[in-house]
Structure 1
C-alpha cells in the first residue's frame, strides 16, 4: 500500500480508538471506579508507554523549560479539565450523545481565534458554526433519548476546555513536535488527578480483574494507540486531511454505544450528529 492509503488507515484507527473512550468510561463506572482513579491511571500508563516508544525510536528530545511549563499547564489544566468533564458527562448522557456534543470543540476554537483575528471570520465559518450548534440543538431539543440538560452543559464545558487546550498547544508546537509535547502533557494530567483524588479521598486502585482490564483498555486502546496512530497518519497525509477523516470518531462512539451498551439511536440523533460533523468538516476545509 502507498503512504496515502496507510495514512488514511492510521487516522481511521485513531478515530476508532478515541471513539471507544466513552464506552470504556461507562464500563469503568459500572465497575465502581471513580473518575480520578480512572483518569490518573489512564494518563500515567499512557505517559509511560509514549515515553518508552519515543525513547526506542530515538525521537525523545527534552524541550526548553518554557515549553515544559506550557506542557504542564496544558496537561494539569486544559487536558485534565476536558477529560474530567467528559467523564462527568457520561453520568448524565449516553456515550454517543457525549461524543457528539464534545465534537463541537472546533466551533469553540473558531470563536477563540476570531476574538484575536476577526478578519478570519467568513460566511463559510459562520455557516459551519450554525450547523454544529444546530446539530446539538436538534438532539437536545427534539430527541430526549440519552440526553440530560446538565450533561449537555458539562460536555460543552469539556469542549470549551479542549478548544483552549488546542489553541495554546498550537503555539507551543512552533518550538516542539507534537509527540514530545504529548509526552509531557500526559504525566501533568495524571498528577492533577492524583492530587484531586487524594484531596477528595476518591483515589483508589481497581480491586478486580475487570476493573484493571477496562483501565488498561482506556490507557492503551483509547489513548496511546489513537494518539500515536494520529501522529503517524499526519506525517503521511497532513494535518488538515487527518482532521477531516477523524470526524468519524463520534460515529464510532454512537455505533459502539448501540452495539455494546444498548444505547438508543434515533433518526434525530443521526441527523444531529451529521450536522455537527458537517460543520466540523467545513471548518477544517476553510482553515486549510
Structure 2
C-alpha cells in the first residue's frame, strides 16, 4: 500500500491526457483554428513547466545549502545543462508537436472517440518498428497482443457494426499518422539527455515544441486580441492537462512503480477519452464499441502483465 500514492499519481497523469480531445473539439466549436489551439496549449504548458523548473532549482539549492541533501553538487540533479544538451532536448520535444497537430487535426473530421482509438495504435506500430529495426520476429505474447488490438480496434471504431462509409478517410489517415509520430517519440525521446532532472527535461522539450510550432504557425493570436477571450481558457486547460500535469505526475510516480506498471496505468487515457466524448460531446458509443475498448485495453496491458509475472517468477526462482 505504500506505493498507492505513486500509482495514483501515474493514473492521474494518464487520465489527464484523456481529457484533451474533448477540450479541442469544444475549442473548434468556438471557431478557433488548429495553430491557435495548439499554440495556446504549448504557451501555457511552457510557462507552467518553467515555473516548475524554477521551483525545483530553488528547492534543490536550498537542500544543498542547508546540508539536507546527500547528493553531491556534481550529480545530474545539480548539473547545469550545456547548450548542446538543451538543443537535444528541444529537438526531442518536436515529435510531440507533430503528434498533437496530427491528432488535433483529425478531430475536425472524425469523432473524438475514434481519434483516440486510432492514436492508441501506437502500441502495435512501436512493436512493428522495433521488430523491423532489430530484425526480430515478434514472440507469441506479442502476436496475441496484436490480435487483441486489431480486433478491439474494429469493434471500438464501429467498423463491424456500421461499416466504413461514415468515416472520413482524411481524418482516419491523420489519426493513424499521429500514432506513427507518437511511436517515434516513445522510441527516441528516452535517449535524449536521460541524466537531466525531469523538471528541466520537460521544460526544454516543451520549449522546443513551442518554437517549432510558432515557426509553422506564427502566433498571431498573441497580438490580434484573440488570446484574451475564451481561447485563453482553452489554452490554459490544454496546457494544464496536456503539457504540465502528466509529466509532473509521471516524474513522481514512474521511478517508484516501474515502467511496466506505468504502461498499464497509462492505458486509462483511452476509456477517459471515450467517456468524455460520450457525456460531454454527446457522441454515440454503442455496447459493441465499449467491448472493443476493453479489448484494446487488454492488448495494451497484456505485455506488461506478462513482463511483471515473468520478472516475479525469476525473482522467486533466484
TM-score between the two structures when normalised by the length of structure 2: 0.81
Alignment check: 8 A CA contact 1:18 1:223 kept? no
- 1:139-218 paired onto structure 2 within 5 Å: 139=157, 141-144=159-162, 147-172=167-192, 174-198=194-218, 206=226, 209-218=229-238
TM-superposed CA distance for 1:107, in Å, is 1.4
| Partner residue, 1:83 | 100
- With 133-142 and 29-38 compared, the bigger mean Cα shift is at 133-142
1:269 to 279, 282, 289: 289
* C-alpha distance in 1 between matches for 2:256 and 2:214: 36
- CA separation in 2, counterparts of 1:88 and 1:55? 33
2: distance between equivalents of 1:205 and 1:113?
Answer: 46
Shift, 1:275, TM fit: 1.9
CA–CA separation in structure 2 for the residues paired with 1:205 and 1:238: 45
Paired residue for 1:236? 256
Q: Equivalent residues in 2 for 1:10-49 (5 A)?
A: 10-49=9-48
Aligned equivalent of 2:122? 105
1:116 alignment partner, one of 133, 138, 141 = 133
The answer for the alignment partner of 1:260 in structure 2 is: 280
Structure 2 vs 1, CA of residues 135 and 152 (structure 1 numbering), >3 Å: closer, same or farther? farther
The one-character-per-residue Cα deviations of 1:253-272 (angstroms, maximum 9, x if unpaired) are 11111111111111221122
The 1:42/1:74 distance shift into structure 2, 3 A limit, reads same
1:224-258, Cα deviation, whole Å (9 max, x unpaired): 11221122121331221111012111100111111
Q: Is the 8 Å Cα contact of residues 93 and 209 (structure 2) preserved in structure 1?
A: yes
Instruction: Measure, in 2, the Cα distance between the counterparts of 1:3 and 1:47.
Output: 32
Cα distance in 1 between the residues matched to 2:243 and 2:289:
26
* Residue 55 (structure 2) aligns with: 56
- The answer for unaligned runs of 5 or more in structure 1 is none
After TM superposition, give the deviation of residue 86 of structure 1 in Å.
Answer: 0.6
Cα distance in structure 2, aligned partners of 1:259 and 1:181? 35
Q: What's the CA shift for 1:141?
A: 2.2
Distance of aligned partners of 1:116 and 1:66 in 2 relative to their CA distance in 1, 3 Å threshold: farther
**1:68 alignment counterpart:** 86
CA distance in 2, matches of 1:166, 1:5: 26
Say which is worse superposed, 81-90 or 125-134, in terms of deviation. Answer: 125-134
Q: TM-score by structure 1 length?
A: 0.89
Greater Rg by CA: 2
Rate the CA distance shift 1:190–1:94 in 2: closer, same or farther, 3 A. same
* 1:280 aligned partner: 300
Judge conservation of contact 1:82–1:162 (CA < 8 Å) in 2.
yes
The alignment yields a C-alpha RMSD, in angstroms, of 2.5
Task: From the superposition, tell whether residues 93 and 205 of structure 1 become closer, same or farther in structure 2 (CA, over 3 Å).
Answer: farther
Q: Work out whether residues 221 and 227 of structure 2, in 8 Å CA contact, stay in contact via their aligned partners in 1.
A: no
Partners of 1:167 and 1:101 in 2: CA distance = 18
Q: How many residues align?
A: 285
